[in-house]
Amino acid sequence: MKDANFSKKILCIGAGYVGGPTMAVIAAKCPQYKVTVVDINAARIDAWNSDKLPIYEPGLLDVVKQARGRNLFFSTDVDEAIREAEIIFVSVNTPTKSFGEGAGKAADLQYWELTARNIVRVSQSDKIIIEKSTLPVRTAEAMSRILNANEKGIRFEVLSNPEFLAEGTAVADLENPDRVLIGSQLTAEGIKARDAVVEIYANWIPKERILTSNVWSSELSKLVANAFLAQRISSINSISALCEKTEANVSEVSRAIGMDSRIGNKFLSSSVGFGGSCFQKDILNLVYICQSWGLTEVADYWEQVISMNEYQKRRFVQNMVKVMFNTVAGKRIALFGFAFKADTGDTRESPAISVAKQLLEEHSKVVITDPQALDNAKIDLADYADKLEFIPDPYEAAKGAHAIAVMTEWKEYKTLDYKRIFSDMERPSFIFDGRNVLDHKALFDLGFNVFPLGQPFHKHF
Ligand SMILES: NC(=O)c1ccc[n+]([C@@H]2O[C@H](COP(=O)([O-])OP(=O)(O)OC[C@H]3O[C@@H](n4cnc5c(N)ncnc54)[C@H](O)[C@@H]3O)[C@@H](O)[C@H]2O)c1
């Protein structure tokens, strides 16, 4: 189709875990729009233009192939793409600030602000700018000031449209979201811009699931959604520690409380801890915002969610050391999984990073296996490269090991031939199930000493 025939020209700045899948689904669902995704990282753009996408996400390649070259384009020509777009989503990274005021808590907005300044510099017409990145509440105000302080007479309307997709199920989440949230100013211009964005999503999402709100509620809702999700994990993980002391079983407790419709049954599985690029950074950001408004009690309350997660990661390794006769020095330990969750290659803030480092401090020989995340694992642990092995095949990884620790709930780990694995391991052989996904009784019957989380241990000694 010729450019002039597209009914809207949409741009997304930032071709990461959010920008790539979100725009691929918009393009696939709306062939009448031209959708361009740009990034300053040329290798990433090359990968989006190939059949080896830069991120692993089930079903994503099919969606990309459906639209790429038709109405979906990946490019590094940021300026040209800005000039021609009417609607610009910005999904650049907003990591935790590592320097200066607010270091370790506040969001680092430098990538966002650079993007905003670039938009002002090259734009020649009015545009709608959409915060897709997760940002502190009231960022749109600052961005609007920067964007509208131009002397070209161009007007920018800043909206918030946070992304609620979960990695590993991104395509399904985008195709069939629980809700889409669009926050705008409640002025005539704000509402007009909001309606233009509602129109995009209404191509495939029922209107009743497209929520609108004021811009601050929208920004804050994203932080609060992640805080509540992470809080549930920390809550059940705190109970897993108590279960281990009392012989209660955390899975039975989860089932019993999850059937209460007021509580609900999702996000109640105990694990070695939550990871991913968002939960920790977004809670820290919430904590920082509360502190800066003088809401110390509120900040402290949410900070506990992070403390509990750190405790769970530490506790997992401390337990390994204790049951393996108080030393893991020189012992080969295979980590099954390194991604922060199944069905992604993403390892950002993965609990496996912390577990691997703690085991290395204990002088273990750590072997890492994962079906999708080994490249990222090598980058995360580059400083320890000479002390580690990365082995794609789990059977090879477990050979000669004293222990296996399940770090990621990959489906394939449930169906491995553990009899074969057991025969190749050192004795006594240990399994620490950091995701409670294996058949513990069957493993015990094969001869393993099995240590789930928050459940009675199965040991032969
Ligand atoms: N990953 C998730 O599951 C998820 C879910 C919801 C929201 N978010 C939020 O979305 C945002 C992006 O997250 P992500 O996981 O996609 O990050 P990411 O790091 O995978 O991608 C960000 C991309 O932005 C690019 N970029 C940075 N500055 C740029 C610039 N000036 N011009 C062009 N490109 C630039 C980077 O090169 C990178 O490829 C973050 O704010 C995050 O909190 C993430």
Q: What is the pLDDT of residues 75-126, one digit of tens each?
A: 999 999 999 999 999 999 999 999 999 999 999 999 999 999 999 999 999 9
Residue type, 179: R
Closest residue CA from atom 18 of ligand 1: 16
Of the candidates 30, 14, 226, the one whose C-alpha atom is nearest the C-alpha of residue 129 is 14
Residue 92 beta carbon below 6 angstroms from any ligand 1 atom = yes
Beta strands in 275-364 (DSSP E): 332-336
Q: Which two tokens stand for residue 71?
A: 């109405």
Question: Of the residues 30, 243, 278, 290, which is catalytic?
Answer: 278
CA of residue 14 to ligand 1 center, whole Å: 6
Whether 22 and 59 have beta carbons less than 8 Å apart is answered as no
Ligand 1 close to Cβ of residue 36 (< 6 A): no
Helix or strand holding residue 74 (H, E): strand 72-75
Instruction: Using alpha carbons, select from 73, 93, 94 the residue that is nearest to residue 85.
Output: 73
Mutate-to-test residue for ligand 1 from 17, 167, 180, highest number of ligand atoms within 8 A of CB: 17
Q: Where are the domains of the chain?
A: 3-205, 253-461
- Alpha carbon nearest to ligand 1 atom 19, residue: 93
Please name the CATH architecture into which domain 253-461 falls.
3-Layer(aba) Sandwich (3.40)
With a 6 Å cutoff on the Cβ, whether 111 touches ligand 1 is yes
- Is 278 tagged catalytic? yes
- Write the CATH number of the domain with boundaries 3-205: 3.40.50.720
Per-residue pLDDT of 288-337, as tens digits, reads 999 999 999 999 999 999 999 999 999 999 999 999 999 999 999 999 99
In the predicted structure, residue 4 carries a pLDDT above the cut 90: no
The answer to whether 3-205 and 253-461 have equal CATH topology is yes
- Residue 194 alpha carbon to ligand 1 centre in Å: 22
Cis peptide before 428 (omega within 30 of 0): yes
- Is the distance from the beta carbon of residue 13 to the nearest atom of ligand 1 less than 6 Å? yes
Closest atom of ligand 1 to 20 CA is: 16
Q: What is the pLDDT of residue 222?
A: 98
